[in-house]
Structure 1
Amino acid sequence: MEIRTLRYFLAVAREENMTKAAELLHVTQPTLSKALRSLEDELGKKLFERHSFSISLTDEGMLLRDRAEDLVTMADKIEREFLSLDDITGGDLYLGLAESYQIRYLARAIRSLKNLYPRLNYHITSGDTEQVTEKLDKGLLDFAVLCDTPDKKKYDYIEFPEADVWGVVMPADCPLAKKKTVLVDDLVGLPLFCSQQSWKNDIPRWAGERMSKLNLEGSFRLAYNSSVFVKEGLGYLLTFDKLINTSKQSGLVFRPLSPKLETKLYLIRNKYQAMTPIAERFMAQIGCSFVKTE
């Protein structure tokens, strides 16, 4: 199975049209059709359903699409890494990030590194622990940022200088907004938004035996999207401080939980993955950037 053939497959899967895909790939349609038939023969599975004016993926095709995207991304990453080995002015850095205001520490490190190595390029993937560790384990990322304690057997890690503080984002005109802090009993019976990861791990630490009384209205991976639902009066968002705009003009407020709930953040790397030169320079820069400032 060739990477080139997988690129052909992904182009057709994306365009859902053989002619358009051939034009984008700068190959003839017969060449493209032959490559895809050979791929189906090699795998012994039908990958596409052919229609009059379009094509769609079979269940097997959908599975291959997910795997092919990772393989092609990895091939591109390997190529860039080898091209950058002799490039003393830059390289490519791949980061998977959880949402936190503390990401500014990484931005600070990248800014300083960019001044030293102007040809540095960085590629950011956002996601929860499951998403970013999966990519890190596959070698698609150089580093990841987690809100969970890392597995010491698999990862080297650095703890961020601060802890993220939990609270509730809510409409500024709701009754609960009049309180300075939010208790568990204040949230009983209210529709709540939270990430699935935090609902399983962080919130039970705080709610204790009252956890069963809380109602998860909906789960979100991105805090901004959930804040839009809060603005529309659909519920209350459990999230970190400083992620959502709660200025007077926003119509939203943030109230910390009581008792106080905090979560530590970690920058991790796979112990068994060799670092590229630019990744090593980034690690060296982190020590200077992970300094707590007001």
Structure 2
Amino acid sequence: MDIRQIRYFLAVAEEGQITAAAKKLNISQPPLSQQLKALETELGVKLFIRNSRNIELTEAGIILRNKSEQIIELVNATEKELKDLNKGLEGTLNIGTVGSSAITVLPKKIYEFHQKYPNINFQMWDGSSTRIMELLNNGIIELGFVRTPFNTKVYNSLYIKNSELKNHTHDIMVTVAKSELYGNIDKDKISIKELENKPLIIHRRFENVITEAFNKLGLSPNIICKNDDIISSLTWANAGIGIALVPRTSSTLMYNTNLEIKEITNPSMEAKSALIWMKNRYLSTAASHFIEYFY
């Protein structure tokens, strides 16, 4: 299996037809069909289900499509990396980020960086911390903004200071909910004890931190939903389903809501944001200079 076959396969997977894929690739149909058959023979699996009008991916085909997209991105990133080495500070910097950093931290830093290095372009990848680390592992991005925890044996890191936190790195967990879900609690803080029987909505990444905080008091959290997206937590809270537990810097990611925010105390819970990059892997000049903006 070579890069050409991968590109041919992806074209067919995207177009859903041999004829359309051949036209897109600017080749005739017979050689394309032969390459696909050769690929299936080499891998020992069927990649397509051929119908009268189009073709569909098999389970093996779906797996190969996902991996092939990563391979092509890696090839493209490598080409850009080598051009960057040759030209100096030009090219594209690939960055992954969780939603909170994309709003509260990155815009100002990217603006400052772009003023000094106008020939650097950016390609941004949004997602959960798990997704960002996966992109780093696969070489799709060079830098990632994530929430703790992460494996410090795999990644170099810098904890991010945030102006909203008075330039501290710790980010206190808060509750976000409709006022009626708080009951008689009308102050701007809420204790773990007061949350004991409340319906909680949490990001899966913070489950251990939250559970441990409750367990310290001999309590168990009443978690009605776990998810991988803080926006989902806030959306559910805005619908009145439960109380979302999120970092303070993420609590205002939704606008035009009537949600109340309360700081969690007794004990408090904290999360941190960090800029991470792979250990023992080439880092472009552009990425190295960008990291300097966070020291």
Same fold, TM-score > 0.5, yes or no: yes
Would the aligned equivalents of 1:128 and 1:197 in 2 still touch at CA under 8 Å?
no
Asked if the contact 1:12/1:18 (under 8 Å) is kept, the reply is yes
Measured in 1, the distance between the counterparts of 2:37 and 2:64 equals 14
Distance apart, 1:262 and its partner CA: 1.3
* 1:10 corresponds to: 10
Q: C-alpha displacement at 1:210, in angstroms? A: 6.0
2:202 pairs with one of 169, 186, 194: 194
Deviation at 1:76, TM superposition (A): 0.8
| Contact kept in structure 1, 2:214 and 2:220, CA below 8 Å | no
The counterpart of 1:170, out of the listed 158, 174, 177, is: 177
1:100 and 1:164 in contact (8 A); partners too: no
Contact map agreement 1:100 1:240 (CA 8 A) in 2: no
Distance 2:72 2:270 in 1: 39
Give the 3-state SS of the residue equivalent to 2:272 in structure 1: strand
Q: 1:32 to 1:186 in 2, by over 3 A?
A: farther
Which residue of structure 1 aligns with residue 137 of structure 2? 137
Give the CA deviation at 1:151. 3.4
* Deviation of the 1:133 alpha carbon: 2.0
| Number of residue pairs the alignment of both structures matches | 286
Q: Trace 1:1-294 onto structure 2 (pairs within 5 A).
A: 1-101=1-101, 104-161=104-161, 162-176=169-183, 178-199=186-207, 201-209=208-216, 213-245=220-252, 249-259=256-266, 260-287=268-295
**Shift in Å, 1:20:** 3.4
Q: Which amino acid aligns with 1:100?
A: S
Cα separation, partners in 2 of 1:145 and 1:245, compared to 1, 3 Å: closer
Please tell me whether the aligned partners of residues 147 and 272 of structure 2 are also in contact (alpha carbons under 8 angstroms): yes
Bigger mean CA deviation after superposition, 241-250 or 149-158? 241-250
Amino acid at match of 2:111: R
Question: Greater CA deviation, 227-236 or 17-26?
Answer: 17-26
Quick one: distance in 2 between partners of 1:139 and 1:248? 34
What is the one-letter code of the residue matched to 2:257?
Answer: S
CA distance in 2, matches of 1:144, 1:179: 37
- Cα gap change, 1:278/1:53 in structure 2, threshold over 3 Å: closer, same or farther? same
Post-superposition shift, 1:103? 6.1
Deviation at 1:214, TM superposition (A): 2.1
User: In structure 2, the residue corresponding to 1:93 is in which secondary structure?
Assistant: strand
Q: How far did 1:208 drift? A: 2.0
Q: 2-side partners of 1:225 and 1:102: how far apart? A: 16
Cα distance in 2 between the residues matched to 1:194 and 1:130: 16
How far off is 1:150 after superposition? Answer: 4.3
Structure 1 gaps of 5+ residues are: 288-294
- CA spacing shift, 1:19–1:209, aligned 2, 3 Å: farther
SS of match in other structure, 1:165? strand
Contact 2:211-2:220 at 8 Å conserved across structures: no
Superposed CA RMSD in Å reads 2.6
CA contact (8 A) 1:168 1:254 kept: yes
Unaligned 5+ segments in structure 2 are 162-168
Query: Shift of the alpha carbon at 1:78?
Result: 0.6
CA distance in 2, matches of 1:246, 1:104: 9
